[in-house]
């Protein structure tokens, strides 16, 4: 799967426009190079240009199928991004969380499918352990993200009852994570027995996703979403390694940095908030 040149055809120009857009979207109003609306439009144009470059470089090979699938995906998006009609501010936030959980569901499925493709299309019995490792980790991240997103979506829409996290749930979660990672490692080391090991790992990843979304209070849903967006970034970077694309490596790393910063910033603000009453006293 050596097609990094197709992606990196305009990848460097795309990376520059992405950085400019991020600058416009994340800065305060006095430091912006461009306004936030123009930055979003620039990001969308960059994505379309990247897709056009990949399709153009591919020639006639599955181009029509790819275009149809992209259009179907775009057509399905309004159902997952719809806004509630009657809304106070809280409902608006809930609808954004709802949309983010649907994004993690879709991205998790995509990463799982791409990991499976990487496993079966590369000759996994050969001595390319790095590709096997990436395929197994991608499947694990994808299934875990999909299950967590699904559970969060079900909880946000009140299809599941409220649950209070317990210490035992956390311990079981860590145990399931350790067993799933162990099975994944065995699948990489012994590819002849990989099918059974991967099925068991996928089942455990589903359970882990359910546990990680169930074992939290719903106000911490953004933390789960941030963690899984960071994992998606790692998966994209690994896909970039497999597809030999520096652009995907850079984008995946930027996503990881954004997720780390989000989680870290949340902690510092929380710490500052807890420190404030102590300072006053």
Partner 1 sequence: MDPVVALYTVLLATVLGLSGFARSDTRRRGRGLLLASVLAGFIVVAAVSALVTATTIPGMIVTALAVLFSAQAATTAFALLWREIRTETRPHGAASKADTEDAP
Quote the CA–CA distance of 1 and 18 in Å, as a whole number. Answer: 26
- Of 88 and 161, nearer to partner 1 (C-beta) is 88
Q: Using the rule CB under 8 A, give the single segment among 163-171, 198-206, 209-217, 257-265 that binds partner 1.
A: 257-265
- With b for 16 or more beta-carbon neighbours within 10 A and e for fewer, the 166-176 pattern comes to eeebeeebeeb
Give the residue, chosen from 17, 42, 106, 165, that forms a contact with partner 1 under the rule CB under 8 A: 106
The rounded radius of gyration (Å) of the Cα atoms in the chain is 21
The yes or no reply on residue 259 touching partner 1 (CB under 8 A) is: yes
Phi first, then psi: what are they for 49, rounded to 5°? -65, -40
Identify residues 69-88 at the interface with partner 1 (CB under 8 A).
Answer: 69-74, 76-78, 80-81, 83
Nearer to partner 1, 202 or 249 (CB): 249
Q: Rule CB under 8 A: choose which of 269, 270, 271, 275 binds partner 1.
A: 269
Whether residue 16 contacts residue 253, with contact meaning beta carbons closer than 8 Å, is answered with: no
Binding span for partner 1 by CB under 8 A among 32-40, 168-176, 187-195, 209-217:
32-40
Nearest to partner 1 of 90, 167 (CB atom): 90
What's the Cα-to-Cα distance from 246 to each of 47, 118, 181, 194, 254, rounded to whole Å? Answer: 16, 18, 27, 29, 12
Q: Least CB distance from residue 252 to partner 1, whole Å?
A: 8
Q: Is 215 in the site for partner 1 (CB under 8 A)?
A: no
233 binds partner 1 per the rule CB under 8 A: yes
Measured CA to CA in angstroms, residue 1 lies from 64, 148, 245 at distances of: 20, 30, 11
Q: C-beta of 41: minimal distance to partner 1 in Å?
A: 9
Figure out which of the listed residues 13, 20, 117, 154 binds partner 1, where binding follows CB under 8 A: 117
User: Could you tell me the two tokens for 96?
Assistant: 């954004």
Stretch that binds partner 1, among 114-122, 154-162, 182-190, 198-206 (CB under 8 A): 114-122
Taken in order 88, 90, 92, 98, is the CA torsion positive or negative?
negative
276 in contact with partner 1 (CB under 8 A): no
Residue 221 engages partner 1 in binding (rule: CB under 8 A)? no
Question: With binding defined as CB under 8 A, does residue 17 bind partner 1?
Answer: no
For residue 239, CA distances in Å to 25, 74, 95, 96, 130 come to 26, 22, 30, 28, 12
Q: Counting contacts by CB under 8 A, is residue 165 touching partner 1?
A: no
Q: What's the token pair of residue 27?
A: 């800065």
Stretch of 57-65, 179-187, 197-205, 210-218 contacting partner 1, by CB under 8 A: 57-65
Q: What are phi and psi of 266, to 5 degrees?
A: -60, -40
Residue count, binding to partner 1 (CB under 8 A)? 98
Cα–Cα distances (Å) from 104 to 112, 143, 226, 234, in that order, read 12, 10, 10, 14
Task: Report if residue 47 touches partner 1, rule: CB under 8 A.
Answer: yes
Tell me: does residue 249 bind partner 1 (CB under 8 A).
Answer: yes
Binding flag, residue 111, partner 1 (CB under 8 A): yes
Examine residue 262 and tell whether it contacts partner 1 (CB under 8 A). Answer: yes
């Amino acid at each position: 799967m050596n097609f990094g040149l197709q992606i990196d055809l305009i990848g460097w120009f795309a990376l520059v426009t992405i950085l400019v857009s991020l600058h416009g979207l994340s800065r305060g109003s006095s430091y912006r190079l461009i306004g936030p609306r123009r930055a979003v439009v620039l990001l969308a144009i960059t994505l379309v240009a990247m897709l056009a470059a990949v399709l153009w470089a591919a020639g006639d090979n599955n181009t029509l199928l790819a275009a149809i699938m992209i259009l179907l995906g775009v057509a399905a998006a309004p159902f997952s991004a719809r806004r509630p009609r009657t809304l106070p501010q809280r409902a608006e936030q809930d609808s954004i969380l709802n949309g983010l959980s649907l994004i993690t569901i879709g991205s998790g499925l995509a990463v799982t499918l791409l990991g499976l493709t990487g496993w079966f299309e590369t000759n996994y019995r050969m001595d390319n352990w790095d590709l096997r490792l990436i395929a197994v980790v991608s499947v694990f991240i994808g299934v875990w993200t999909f299950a967590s997103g699904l559970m969060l979506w079900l909880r946000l829409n009140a299809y599941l009852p409220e649950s209070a996290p317990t210490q035992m749930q956390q311990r079981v979660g860590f145990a399931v994570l350790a067993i799933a990672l162990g099975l994944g490692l065995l699948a990489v080391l012994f590819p002849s027995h990989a099918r059974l090991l991967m099925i068991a790992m996928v089942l455990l990843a589903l359970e882990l996703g359910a546990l990680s979304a169930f074992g939290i209070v719903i106000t911490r849903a953004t933390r789960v979403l941030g963690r899984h967006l960071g994992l998606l970034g790692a998966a994209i970077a690994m896909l970039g390694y497999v597809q030999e694309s520096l652009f995907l490596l850079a984008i995946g790393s930027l996503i990881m940095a954004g997720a780390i910063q989000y989680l870290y910033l949340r902690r510092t603000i929380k710490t500052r908030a807890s420190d404030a009453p102590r300072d006053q006293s």
